[in-house]
């Protein structure tokens, strides 16, 4: 468990060092050699104990394998010279992961990259519960990405019942990613500030095929709208002709007219008119 260590002010011990220097000079001048050696040893021992802690930085102190506490207050301090001090930054950090290849819920290979904002919250866990906490963050983030990808399909082309997908899930997917990463990094005393997907695409080996499928789907949707509109226009044309009595059409003529109008309205290219100067047949 993390505990705060209240280190002594370093300025007080600077004054003590000055006193020792004066005492050493006095011993040398007075030829009191028996006093000079202890003074020098004490001076060196005190000098080793000086420590500077910068803002948003901490120092984890260990004495012969025994955790004594963490100095989180910034400033100039003096601690037991036998303490082993390990500096741990408390600043917020960014992890912009390279896109990795994973399989989505239905087995399609996709590339996912994330941005993770994190910082050390518990210095004891970061220093002693895991080995190299920065490397631990990288590995566990990748593991969380792989698990997230297995929960959702990339899109709902093949899984039409999927309400949330990686591509359209938005905040729901990002919240799930943040929750998963937070649970994995809690053992290392890491606080996850934000986790977001910043890259999402099909893997290269299926990207071309999926692009064609998306294009085909878009074409079908466009055709559906075109046909729907064309049917409405034909219906309106027949009603107007009937109401205004412009021309009387039997069922065969109506079918011919409908066919011609549908070809004109739904064709990919502009229709080339043919002028009939004789019978309509």
Residue-wise pLDDT for 174-214, tens only, equals 999 999 999 999 999 999 999 999 888 877 775 566 666 66
Q: What is the dihedral of CA 214, 220, 221, 227, to 10 degrees?
A: 170
What pLDDT does 264 receive?
A: 64
Average pLDDT score, the chain: 82
**What is the average pLDDT across 13-20?**
92
What pLDDT does 189 receive?
A: 93
281, pLDDT greater than 70: no
Q: Is residue 71 a contact partner of residue 58, using CB atoms and an 8 Å limit?
A: yes
Exposed/middle/buried for 254, CB within 10 Å: 0-12, 13-18, 19+? middle
12, pLDDT greater than 70: yes
**What is the average pLDDT across 38-56?**
92
What pLDDT does 251 receive?
A: 66
Q: Coil, strand, or helix at residue 279?
A: coil
2, pLDDT greater than 70: yes
1 vs 79, which has greater pLDDT?
79
In which order are the strands placed within the sheet that holds 8-9? Answer: 8-9, 75-78, 50-53
**What is the average pLDDT across 116-135?**
93
156, pLDDT greater than 80: no
Q: Is residue 33 a contact partner of residue 55, using CB atoms and an 8 Å limit?
A: no
**What is the average pLDDT across 61-85?**
93
Q: How does residue 263 score in pLDDT terms, banded at 50, 70 and 90?
A: low
Q: Is residue 96 a contact partner of residue 89, using CB atoms and an 8 Å limit?
A: no
What pLDDT does 125 receive?
A: 94
Q: For residues 146 and 135, what is the distance between their CA atoms, to the nearest angstrom?
A: 17
* pLDDT over 70, % of the chain: 74
What pLDDT does 110 receive?
A: 87
Q: For residues 251 and 241, what is the distance between their CA atoms, to the nearest angstrom?
A: 14
139, pLDDT greater than 70: yes
46, pLDDT greater than 80: yes
* pLDDT over 90, % of the chain: 45
Yes or no: is domain 93-202 CATH 3.30.479.30? yes
Q: Coil, strand, or helix at residue 86?
A: strand
Domain range list for the chain: 8-88, 93-202, 208-266
25, pLDDT greater than 90: no
**What is the average pLDDT across 247-268?**
65
Q: How does residue 158 score in pLDDT terms, banded at 50, 70 and 90?
A: low
């Amino acid at each position: 468990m993390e505990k705060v260590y209240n280190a002594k002010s370093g300025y007080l011990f600077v004054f003590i060092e000055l006193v020792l220097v004066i005492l050493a000079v006095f011993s040398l001048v007075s030829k009191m050699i028996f006093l000079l050696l202890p003074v020098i040893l004490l001076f060196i021992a005190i000098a080793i104990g000086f420590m500077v802690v910068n803002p948003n930085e901490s120092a984890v102190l260990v004495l012969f394998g025994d955790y004594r506490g963490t100095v989180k207050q910034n400033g100039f301090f003096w601690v037991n010279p036998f303490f082993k001090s390990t500096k741990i930054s408390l600043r917020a950090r960014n992890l912009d992961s390279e896109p990795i290849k994973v399989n989505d819920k239905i087995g399609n290979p996709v590339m996912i990259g994330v941005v993770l904002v994190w910082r050390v919250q518990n210095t004891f866990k970061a220093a002693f519960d895991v080995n190299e906490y920065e490397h631990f963050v990288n590995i566990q983030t990748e593991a969380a990405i792989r698990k997230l990808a297995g929960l959702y399909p990339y899109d709902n082309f093949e899984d039409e019942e999927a309400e949330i997908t990686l591509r359209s899930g938005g905040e729901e997917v990002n919240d799930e990613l943040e929750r998963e990463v937070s649970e994995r990094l809690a053992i290392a005393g890491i606080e996850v500030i934000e986790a977001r997907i910043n890259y999402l695409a099909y893997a290269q080996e299926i990207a071309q095929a999926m692009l064609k499928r998306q294009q085909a789907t878009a074409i079908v949707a466009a055709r559906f709208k075109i046909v729907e509109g064309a049917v409405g226009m034909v219906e309106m044309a027949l009603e107007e002709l009937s109401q205004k009595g412009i021309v009387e059409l039997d069922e065969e003529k109506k079918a011919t007219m409908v066919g011609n109008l549908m070809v004109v309205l739904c064709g990919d290219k502009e229709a080339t008119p043919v002028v009939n100067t004789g019978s309509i047949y």
